Chains A and B, each alone.
Chain A
Amino acid sequence: MKPSSDNNGLSPGEARIRRALLWSAGAAGLLAAALVGLYAFLHRTPSPADRTAAVEASPVAPGPEPTSPETPPKAYFTDITRQAGLRFRHTNGAYGEHLMPETIGSGVAFVDYDQDGDPDLLLVDSSYWAGHEGAASPHQTLYRNDGTGHFEEVSTEAGLGQDFFGMGVAVGDYDNDGWPDLFITAVGHDHLYHNRQGHFEEVSASAGVAGGPADWSTCAAFIDYDNDGDLDLFVCQYVKWSRNTDLRIDFKLTGLGRAYGAPNHFVGTHSRLYRNDGDGRFTDVSAETGIQITDPHSGRPEGKALGVAPVDYDRDGWIDLFVANDTERNFLFHNLGNGHFEEVGAFEGIAFDRNGKATSGMGIDAAWYRNDDDLAVAIGNFANEMTSFFTTSDGTPPFADEAMLEGIGAPSRLALTFAVLFFDYDLDGRLDLFQANGHLEPDINKVQPGQHYAQPLQLFRNCAPACEAAYRLVEGNPVLDRPLVGRGAAYADIDGDGDLDLAITQNGRPAVLLRNDLTPPHWLRVDVEGTRANRDGIGAVIELRTASTLQRRRVMPTRGFLSQSEKTVTFGLDDARIVNALRVVWPGGTVQQVKVPQVDTILHIKQPITAEAGP
Chain B
Amino acid sequence: MKGPSAHGALLVAWLLITGAASADRVAAPSGPWKDLRPVAEVDLSGAEPHLRQRMLKMRARLDTLLAEGGARKAALAEGYGTLAALYAGSGLETSAERCFDNARRLAPGDYRWPYLAAQLALNGGRPREALKRLRRVQTLKPDYPALPLRFGQTLLQLDRLEEARAALEQALGNPGLRAAALYSLGQIDLLRRRYRKAAERFQEALKLAPQADALYYPLAQALRALGDREKAMAALRRKGDTLPPVDDPLLAEMNALNNSARHFYSQALKAVHERRYAEAVEALRAGLKMDPGNANARTTLARALYLSGQVEAAKTLLQGVLKARPGHPLANFLHGVLLEAEGDTQAARAAYERTLRRDPGHAGAHYYLAGLLFRQGDYAGAARHFAEAAKAGPELAMAALYRLVALQRAGTSDRELKQALEAALHKQPKQPLLRYAMARLLAASGDAAVRDPARALKLTRQLLQQMPSPPHQAAHALALAASGDFDKARETLAKAMSPLPWDPAFATELLQMATAFQGHRLPPAWPEDDPLLTPPPANPHLVIAEYPAEKPF
Contacts and interface: CB of A to CB of B under 8 A. Distances in A.
Interface in B150-183: 151, 155-163, 165-167, 170, 173-174
| A32, A346, A407, A414 — most chain B CB neighbours (10 Å) | A346
Interface in A383-423: 383-384, 393, 398, 400, 402, 404-405, 407, 409-410, 413-414
Nearest to B392: A214
Nearest to A53: B143
Given A57-B174, A255-B42, A255-B43, A214 B163 contact: no
B427 interface: yes
A50 B217 CA distance: 39
Contacts of B225: 393, 398, 400
Contact of A356 (B126, B147, B165, B218): B218
Interface string A244-272: 11001110111111010000010100000
| A34, A59, A298 — most chain B CB neighbours (10 Å) | A59
Interface stretch (B231-239, B285-293, B509-517): B231-239
Contacts of A509: none
Interface stretch (A163-171, A173-181, A361-369, A443-451): A443-451
A450 B160 contact: no
B224 A398 contact: yes
A54 B92 contact: no
A413 B142 contact: no
B551 A448 contact: no
| B43, B143, B429 — most chain A CB neighbours (10 Å) | B143
Nearest to B156: A404
A36 B167 CA distance: 11
B158 A26 contact: no
B550 A248 contact: yes
Interface string B348-391: 00000000000101000000000000000000000000000000
Interface string B207-221: 000000010111011
Interface string A449-493: 110000000000000000001000000000000000000000000
Interface stretch (A60-68, A218-226, A318-326, A541-549): A60-68
B548 interface: yes
Contacts of B90: 254-255
Interface in A13-57: 19, 22-23, 25-26, 28-30, 32-34, 36-37, 44, 50, 53-54, 56-57
Contacts of A446: 42, 94
B124 A62 contact: no
Interface in B514-553: 546, 548, 550-551
B275 interface: yes
B170 A356 contact: no
Contacts of A61: 135, 138
A356 B214 contact: yes
Interface in B131-157: 131, 135, 138, 141-145, 147-148, 151, 155-157
A551 to B, nearest CB: 25
A494 to B, nearest CB: 35
Given A299-B546, A356-B239, A240 B393 contact: yes
A495 interface: no
A413 B125 contact: yes
Interface string A58-82: 1111110010000000000000000
B361 A244 contact: yes
Interface stretch (B3-11, B44-52, B303-311): B44-52
B162 A29 contact: yes
Contacts of A357: 214, 241
B70 to A, nearest CB: 30
Contacts of B131: 62
Contact of B91 (A22, A59, A250, A253): A253
Contacts of A23: 192
B178 to A, nearest CB: 13
A404 B191 contact: yes
B187 interface: yes
Given A249-B550, A447-B95, A57 B173 contact: yes
Contact of B163 (A62, A245, A448): A62
A287 B91 contact: no
B63 interface: no
B249 interface: no
Contact of A449 (B124, B220, B241): B124
B398 to A, nearest CB: 15
B93 interface: yes
Contacts of B216: 356
A587 B509 CA distance: 53
A434 interface: no
Contacts of A56: 143, 173-174
Contacts of A352: 217
B94 A449 contact: yes
B394 interface: yes
B217 A448 contact: no
Contacts of A257: 43, 45-46
B49 to A, nearest CB: 12
Interface string B472-490: 0000000000000000000
B263 interface: no
Contact of A252 (B46, B158, B166, B190): B46
Given A240-B393, A404-B161, 20 more contacts: A29-B162, A29-B165, A33-B167, A59-B138, A208-B429, A249-B550, A254-B45, A254-B46, A259-B46, A297-B274, A298-B273, A354-B191, A355-B217, A400-B225, A404-B156, A405-B191, A410-B159, A446-B94, A447-B93, A449-B124
19 contacts: A26-B161, A33-B163, A33-B166, A37-B166, A56-B173, A58-B170, A212-B427, A248-B359, A250-B551, A255-B92, A255-B94, A355-B187, A355-B217, A356-B217, A404-B159, A405-B191, A414-B126, A446-B42, A449-B94
Interface of A: 19, 22-23, 25-26, 28-30, 32-34, 36-37, 44, 50, 53-54, 56-63, 66, 208, 212, 214, 240, 244-245, 248-250, 252-257, 259, 265, 267, 283-284, 287, 297-300, 346-347, 349, 352, 354-357, 383-384, 393, 398, 400, 402, 404-405, 407, 409-410, 413-414, 445-450, 469
